[in-house]
Structure 1
Amino acid sequence: MDKSSATPNDSFTSAMTLTEEGLTCIPKRYIVPSSLRPNGTLSNSNTCLPIVDLSLLQHPLLRPQIIQQVHLACKELGFFQVVNHGIPLSVMKDALDNAIELFDLPSEEKLHLLSSNVHDPVRYSTSLNDDKDKVSFWRDFLKHYANPISNWIDLWPSNPTFYKEKMGNYTKAVQKLQEEIMEVIFESLELNPDYLHEDIAKGSQVIAVNCYPACPEPDLALGLPPHTDYSLLSIILQNHQGLQIMDRDEKWHSVPVIEGGLIALVGDHMEVLSNGQYKGVVHRATVNSEKKRLSIASLHSLALGKKVRPAPALVDEQHILSYNEGGFSDFLDFISGEDIVQVKYIDKLKINP
């Protein structure tokens, strides 16, 4: 049965299952159009992707330099990595180890979480949007809501045994971290660091645990196609290289794995809030033939029913209002009815696209 019609009671084929079957060629539905294929599209330049040492914010003389570094990173790339961010290596490793355990479970152990409904607070599936994909992508994922964690953790998987504890520890730590990074980003926009503080603290957090199994024909497939996140800010932990970002010249760059580092991505809602000063970064996930890659993405915005709108201080005669308001619930409605490879969410929010 084709996966687009799969329900928990139907047959379901995950990317992990296809890998375990020992295929030497990928099924036709996973072959992406030539324009999307990653082979040969990487920049050959020696561009240094920005790395921000958050511990330097505690030094009054260095703080302005870090704020300026974040400003340039957000404006020029929509991307930076953070180090010395306060989350212990052990917490990050435990989260990745539990993600590996989760996807290594037999398929029948995960099928009760299977869903193609993007509104479900806990959802296991494959590819991107099962109901809308014209092309499938070489990925299995588990997505679940996470903030406030007490509202959602009982819905998370109970198998692996320590999933709730270990992923919960990481989730709480990264929620706190994004609040700190948001203050820095707001300051870099010359807003009050406490701007929307309560809304940010009580905002939505979606944890996307992604598994990109080894792929027999990686030059023909993608784990995720080029896209921007809907979020204000996304924070990503990866165990192997595979994430690539597009710069403003539309050149692709591989994001290296830095021990202890985390990746910060500007999303569509930050583009709205900044009235276009910071654009959401286009990124994609590549696959390889040698090993399974795991990533844990924590996507942050305002609460489900709240709207993000341009900060009034960033709208004036020189910077006219350029975006309509939008929220997490609007985004869910959007992806339930659109193919996001063909239609961009941010274009729906632009006043003059």
Structure 2
Amino acid sequence: MTTLSEAFRDYAKFENTPLDFNTMHEVPETHQWPIQLDQPLQMIQDTHTLIPVVDLSDPNAMDVIKQACETLGMFQVLNHGIPFEMVKKVESEARRLFGLSMDEKRKVLRSANGVTGYGLFPISSYFDKSMWHEGFTIMDSSVDDDAKVLWPNDYHQFCDTMHAYQSEVKSLAHKLIVIILQSINATQEEINWATSSQQGALLLNSYPPCPKPNSTLGLAPHTDSLLVTILHLGGVHGLEVFVQGLGWHQIQPVEGALLVNLGDLMHIFSNAKFVSPLHRVKVNQLKQRISFVYFQGPPVDSVVAPSSAFLNPCFEPMRVKEYLSLKSKNFHDAFSMIRK
């Protein structure tokens, strides 16, 4: 059986050389983006209407989630079941990791053909410019080996925290996927496909303070590839979503909420009814922004196709790992290449 890490190896084929941001007093040319040409077309005042905050204990939660999936592919959730103390503990451990010296972090640098460990964001190879970002990717039990290298005598705290959070967020992803698929009358077999033998990845992100934030990007515009993404925003502004006709819109973090956005596989399964939103991250001059994101998808050897609920499917069926490989080579053009 192909693992998620094996399926994502095509994304990892680039030179993984993060900057030592603590020594940067200016933005090098390699990290300067022409983003001044890509500003919002207008300010959006009612942010919670655009990106709804859904209480999962609300009997009408499915209806609100379905509408959010159809309009923007993004919503925030409250009463999600993950203790706030656990979320803050993960954030604290992420700060401990990124607070290490560059020499220490390089001990767990992601290898040339690997997808776990410390380094640049996996989509870096698709852009001419580098991003003001450092990350740490966890898949399967990779966190144990890396933590033992970083903290030989004190690795249990980091490992236990990450394992506990992954268990909780995986359960939340399962619950959300069921709600989303039921909202379009998916069959039980299709729900089983999406929720059985789930595979996921946890990515810790650091966006250090930047001397000239308007000249660079924390993360370049992209869509996520799997079914759902669950993100802790970290309480500092930075994440933006592209809204057709309105331009880039800054996401307002809600205390205690987690952000959910759909990925490409959900767009395919919904026969393009649900949106896989284009999003990016801006940086700031004063504060380090710590976030962490969990990606969840079905078995990569399985076939993804529009649900049988749709009489006229607009995408060709294909194995999940084949779609991931296609996107790794064609990036923004992947959808157009599998349309009927």
TM-score by length of 1: 0.82
Counterpart of 1:59? none
Residue matched to 1:107: 102
Offset, 1:242: 1.1
Greater percentage in helix: 2
2:297 paired with 1:296: no
Q: Is the 8 A contact 2:207 2:290 kept in 1?
A: yes
Shift of the 304–194 alpha-carbon distance from structure 1 to 2, 3 Å rule, reads closer
Match of 2:251 among 250, 255, 258: 255
Amino acid at match of 1:26: V
Identical aligned residues as a percent? 25
Match in the other structure for 1:333: 325
List runs of 5+ in structure 2 lacking aligned partners: 1-12
What's 1:142 paired with?
Answer: 136
Q: 2:256 aligns to what SS in structure 1?
A: coil
- After superposition, residues 17-56 of structure 1 pair within 5 angstroms as 17-18=20-21, 20-23=22-25, 25-34=26-35, 37-38=38-39, 43-48=43-48, 49-56=51-58
Structure 1 residues 69, 293: CA separation in 2 closer, same or farther (over 3 Å shift)? Answer: same
Partner deviation per Cα, 1:229-252 (whole Å, 9 max, x = no partner): 011100001212211112233422
Using the TM superposition, give the Cα deviation of residue 298 of structure 1 relative to its aligned residue in structure 2, in angstroms: 0.5
Contact preservation (8 Å) 2:54, 2:64: yes
Whether the 8 Å CA contact 2:327–2:333 is kept in 1: the answer is no
Cα distance, 1:70 vs structure 2: 0.8
Over 3 Å counting, the alpha-carbon distance change for 1:294 and 1:194 in structure 2 is farther
| Alpha-carbon contact 1:128-1:136 (below 8 Å) kept | no
| Shift of residue 129, structure 1, vs aligned partner | 4.1
Deviations 1:81-140 (A, max 9, x none): 0001110011101111111111111122222322364x6241321255454431111111
Q: Encode CA deviations 1:21-70: one digit per residue, 9 max, x unaligned.
A: 141x20001111246655x55634434220110122xxxxxx2x221111
User: Match of 2:302?
Assistant: 306
Could you tell me how far apart the structure 1 residues matched to 2:224 and 2:14 are?
A: 26
Question: Per the alignment, do residues 328 and 218 of structure 1 end up closer, same or farther by CA in structure 2, a change over 3 Å counting?
Answer: farther
Alignment counterpart, residue 282 of structure 1, candidates 241, 255, 278: 278
State the SS of the aligned residue for 2:309.
helix
**1:346 alignment partner in structure 2:** 335
Q: Distance in 1 between matches of 2:295 and 2:242?
A: 19
8 Å contact 1:42–1:254 — kept in the other structure?
no
Q: Does 1:126 find its partner at 2:120?
A: yes
State which of 157, 174, 177 in structure 2 corresponds to 1:179.
Answer: 174
Moved more, 279-288 or 252-261: 252-261
Deviation at 1:76, TM superposition (A): 0.6
Q: Is the 8 A contact 2:202 2:292 kept in 1?
A: yes
> How far, CA to CA, are the matches of 2:246 and 2:137 in structure 1?
29
In the superposition, relative to structure 1, how do residues 288 and 277 fare at CA in structure 2: closer, same or farther (>3 Å)? Answer: same
TM-score of the two chains, using structure 2 as the length reference: 0.85
Do 1:43 and 1:252's aligned partners in 2 also have CA atoms closer than 8 Å? no
The answer to whether the 8 A contact 2:229-2:295 is kept is yes
Q: Of 198, 207, 210, which aligns to 2:202?
A: 207
Alpha carbons of structure 1 residues 112 and 104: separation in structure 2 relative to 1, 3 Å: same
> Contact 1:208–1:298 at 8 Å: present in 2 too?
yes
Q: Structure 1 residues 328, 93: CA separation in 2 closer, same or farther (over 3 Å shift)?
A: farther
1:152-205 CA-partner distances (Å, limit 9, x unpaired): 554443335222111111111000000001111012112247743365241210
1: CA distance between counterparts of 2:339 and 2:222? Answer: 16
Partner of 1:215: helix, strand, or coil? coil
Rounded to whole Å, the distance in 2 between the matches of 1:116 and 1:129 is: 15
Amino acid at match of 2:147: P
Instruction: Give matches, 1:241-252, under 5 Å.
Output: 241-252=237-248
2:335 alignment partner AA: I
RMSD (CA atoms): 2.4
* Alignment partners' CA distance in 2, 1:98 and 1:236: 16
Name the CA distance, whole Å, in 2 between partners of 1:290 and 1:44.
24
The Cα shift of 1:291 comes to 0.6
Contact 1:266/1:281, CA 8 A, preserved across alignment: yes
Q: Relative contact order: is structure 1 or structure 2 higher (C-alpha 8 Å, sep ≥ 6)? A: 2
